[in-house]
Structure 1
Amino acid sequence: MRALLMERFGGPLTVREVPDPTPAPDGVVVAVGASGVCRSDWHAWSGHDSDVVLPHVPGHELAGTVAAVGDRVRRWSVGDRVTVPFVCACGVCAPCREGQHQVCLHQTQPGFTHWGSFAELVALDAADVNLVALPDSLSFTTAAALGCRFATAFRAVTGVGRVAAGEWVAVIGCGGVGLSAVQVAVAVGARVVAVDPSPGARGLATAMGAEHVLADPAAVVEVTGGGAHVGLDCLGSPDTCVASIRSLRPRGRHVQVGLLPPELGRPEVPMDLVVARELAVLGSHGMAAHDYPAMLSLIGAGRLRPQDLVTRELTLDEAGAALVEVGRAPGVAVVTSF
């Protein structure tokens, strides 16, 4: 198969012919119809993830068609249209038994723990636990934006942040996950302040329904009349983490969504404010496959429109450059031709 191969951290990414994957007994192989280009892929390429072993094929936001099935798989057949969360859970550890697959103790992640979806084919583990059926009305291009950014934002807003109608939400960083968070928060009736230094990103945040768009997070407290009820760091940097916490009103909730690899520095969390204002500091890590139906229902009803976030469709030969430059152009890029 053709795949985008990484042979050195921070080095060139080249399309090569590599061996086809085979399914594990409990897994499947999916013929990739589309694969999103995400900041997490950039972290893998940069060497920020210890799970990545070279040579490596990145890519974890995917949708496609089941091409081969392991002999222990019961729920899926060749030809099924599917997507998958970026966390593939084992289904049997303690968190999985509690339904918290997104923090599985034995999770695998395509594009990180094994070769990913910037390829014609990708192997996925524990298929009966992790695969999500796609309605015929949902294109692979749109579905590819769900597996990391949109699903992560959906759970961060609705599940972890518990955003309620009428609350102020500050979204810090308006890349793919941030724009997704804006759209989800607006859909549940929140008032959104979106913060990003890029005029293009701020323009897209306005189109997603943000009430205010700012270049400087210091202005959040003023425009919300005392601070946000919920702040989301959707970029993942020491500065944006602290900015989200400082944007909160008393009893506010900070949700850390963007990755914070130690290589990029550790945030100096203002614990004096956390104590004085009784703030909650929360982490959010993806969304389990069994939680997808609620999100897909809202998409089917037109209340959520992840397709509006896709601003570029690429070939596999263009994916390497897009990965290296992720975040420089607003919106979501998706590889749709392999």
Structure 2
Amino acid sequence: MRAVWFDAFGGPLELRDVPAPSCPAAGVVVRVEATGVCRSDWHGWRGHDDGIALPHVPGHELAGTVVEAGPEVRDWRVGDVVTVPFVNACGACAACVAGEQQVCERQTQPGFTQRGSFAELVALDHADVNLVRLPAGMSPVTAASLGCRFATAYRALTVHGRVRAGDEVAVHGCGGVGLSAVMIAVASGARVVAVDVSAAARSAALELGAAVALDPSGLGPEEVALLVADATGGGAHLSLDALGHPDAALASVLGLRRRGRHVQVGLLLAGHARTALPMDRVVGWELEVYGSHGMAAHEYPAMLAAVASGALAPERLVGRTIGLAEAGAALAAMGGPATAAGMTVVEPQRP
């Protein structure tokens, strides 16, 4: 099969012919119809994420068609059209038994612990626990856009953030996760303040319904927090760091009102992994601080129902679609400033 392949962290991302994956006994092989280009994959390529064995194929936001099912799979057949959370849970550990598959103790992740979906085919573990059937009429490109970023934002807002109509919500970083959060918060009746250095990202946030879009360029976290507090009438009820940077995390916490809720969605890796937060403010104002790590397959139905009803339109977040030949360059570009808003989705079956 064709796949995007790298032999060294930060090295060339090359389109190669490589061996097709074998099918796990409890898993499936999926023909990848669409896969998102995510900054998490960029971190993996740069060597910021533990557990990646070289050589490697990136990619974890995917949708496609089952072409092979292992002998232990009960619920899935060849021809089923599916998507999958980026955490492939084992289904048997204490976290899984409690219904918290997104923090599975023995999780695998396509594109990280195993070769991913920047390829024509991908193997997925424990299919009966992890696969999600696509609703009739949903395109693979739309489904891939749900993958990591949209589903993660959905759970961050609805479960940890407990977003409510009338809430003042700040979103720091308006890439794929952030714009997803803007859409979901607006659909929930919240008033959204979006923060991003990119003019294109701020414009996209406003188009999705954000009330205010702030440019933090050249400002420190405390200054950004003051702007957010002013724009929200005293501080956000709920704030997300959707970027994954110490400055964004600090500004998010400091921009909350008393008893506010901060959700850390953006990954803080490598030298940023142990980022300090203003715990004096957390204690004194009784703030809530959460981490959010994706969404389990069993939680997808509510999100998919909102998409089917038209309340959420994740296809609006897709900026462009490309083929595998362009995927390596698109992934490498994730390390620089955004030049256009919206997600990039790869369609590996393009000629």
Q: Is residue 335 of structure 1 aligned with residue 343 of structure 2? A: no
Q: Does 1:313 align with 2:315?
A: no
Q: Which amino acid is 2:253 matched to? A: I
Offset at 1:265?
6.0
Give the Cα–Cα distance (whole angstroms) in 2 for the partners of residues 278 and 103 of structure 1: 26
Q: 2:240 aligns with which of 232, 245, 263?
A: 232
Corresponding position of 1:159: 159
Secondary structure, aligned partner of 1:236:
coil
Distance 2:160 2:103 in 1: 13
Specify the code of the residue in structure 2 equivalent to 1:254. H
Aligned pairs (5 A) from 1:25-36: 25-36=25-36
Give me the whole-angstrom Cα distance separating, in 1, the residues matched to 2:348 and 2:133: 22
Which residue of structure 2 lines up, in the alignment, with residue 118 of structure 1? 118
Equivalent runs, 1:66-105 vs 2, <5 Å? 66-105=66-105
Distance 2:259 2:87 in 1: 31
The worse-fitting range, judged by mean Cα deviation, of 258-267 and 124-133 is: 258-267
Q: TM-score, normalised by structure 2?
A: 0.95
Give the aligned partner of residue 304 of structure 2.
Answer: 296
Distance in 1, Cα, partners of 2:189 & 2:49: 36
Q: What pairs with 1:181-200 in structure 2 (closer than 5 Å)?
A: 181-200=181-200
Report the alpha carbon displacement of residue 116 of structure 1 after superposing the two structures with TM. Answer: 0.2
State whether residues 119 and 348 of structure 2, in contact with CA within 8 Å, keep that contact through their aligned partners in structure 1. no
1:325 matches 2:336: no
**1:269 CA drift (Å):** 0.7
Would you say 1:210 and 2:210 are equivalent positions? yes
2:192–2:210: 8 Å Cα contact kept in structure 1? yes
Greater Cα offset, 90-99 or 208-217: 208-217
- Unpaired runs of 5+ residues, structure 1, are none
Structure 1 residues 11-62: Cα deviation after superposition (integer angstroms, max 9, x where no partner): 1100111111121110000000000000000000010111111000000000
Report SS of the residue matched to 1:144.
Answer: helix
Residue number in structure 1 paired with 2:19: 19
- Say if 1:239 and 1:267, in contact at 8 Å, map to a contact too: no
Distance (Å, rounded) in 1 between the aligned partners of 2:237 and 2:90: 35
- Following superposition, the deviation at residue 275 of structure 1 comes to 1.1
**8 Å contact kept, 1:93–1:106:** yes
Letter of the structure 2 residue corresponding to residue 282 of structure 1: Y
- Which residue does the alignment assign to 2:288? 280
Q: Distance in 2 between matches of 1:179 and 1:315?
A: 23
Query: CA offsets, 1:47-89, max 9 Å, x none?
Result: 0111111000000000000010000001000000000000000
CA distance in 1, matches of 2:300, 2:158: 12
| Cα pair 1:30 1:121 within 8 Å, conserved | yes
1:238–1:266 CA contact under 8 A, matched in 2: no
Shift of 1:135: 1.4
How many residues are treated as equivalent by the alignment? 338
1:252 aligned to 2:263?
Answer: no
- Rounded Cα–Cα distance in structure 2 between residues aligned with 1:265 and 1:63: 30
Q: Percent identity?
A: 62
For 1:13 and 1:142, the matched residues in 2 are separated by 25
1:174 correspondence with 2:185: no
Amino acid at match of 2:166: G
CA-CA distance at 1:288 after TM superposition: 0.2
SS of corresponding position for 2:193: strand
The one-letter code sitting in structure 2 at the alignment partner of 1:162 is R
Deviation, structure 1 residue 282: 0.6
Q: Distance in 1 between matches of 2:51 and 2:162?
A: 31
Q: Secondary structure at the match of 2:347?
A: strand
- 2:273 and 2:215 mapped to 1: Cα distance? 22
Tell me, in whole angstroms, the C-alpha distance in 2 between the residues paired with 1:146 and 1:242. 27
* Superposed displacement of residue 330, structure 1: 1.9
Question: Could you tell me how far apart the structure 1 residues matched to 2:196 and 2:31 are?
Answer: 36
Q: Which amino acid aligns with 1:335?
A: V
- CA–CA separation in structure 2 for the residues paired with 1:192 and 1:275: 25
CA displacement at 1:268 relative to structure 2: 2.4
Whether contact under 8 Å (1:238, 1:265) holds in the other structure is: no
Q: Give the Cα separation in 2 of the matches to 1:44 and 1:107.
A: 16
User: Could you tell me whether the CA contact under 8 Å between 2:146 and 2:314 is conserved in 1?
Assistant: yes
Partner Cα separation in structure 2 for residue 238 and residue 320 of structure 1: 27
Q: Is the 8 A contact 2:171 2:194 kept in 1?
A: yes
Question: Separation in 1 of the partners of 2:22 and 2:189?
Answer: 45
Q: Could you tell me which amino acid in structure 1 is paired with residue 343 of structure 2? A: V
Instruction: For 2:326 and 2:132, locate their aligned partners in 1 and report how far apart those are by CA, in whole Å.
Output: 28
Instruction: Kindly provide the amino acid, as one letter, of the partner of residue 233 in structure 1.
Output: D
Cα distance, 1:257 vs. partner? 0.2
Alpha-carbon distance in structure 2 between the residues aligned to 1:87 and 1:275:
32
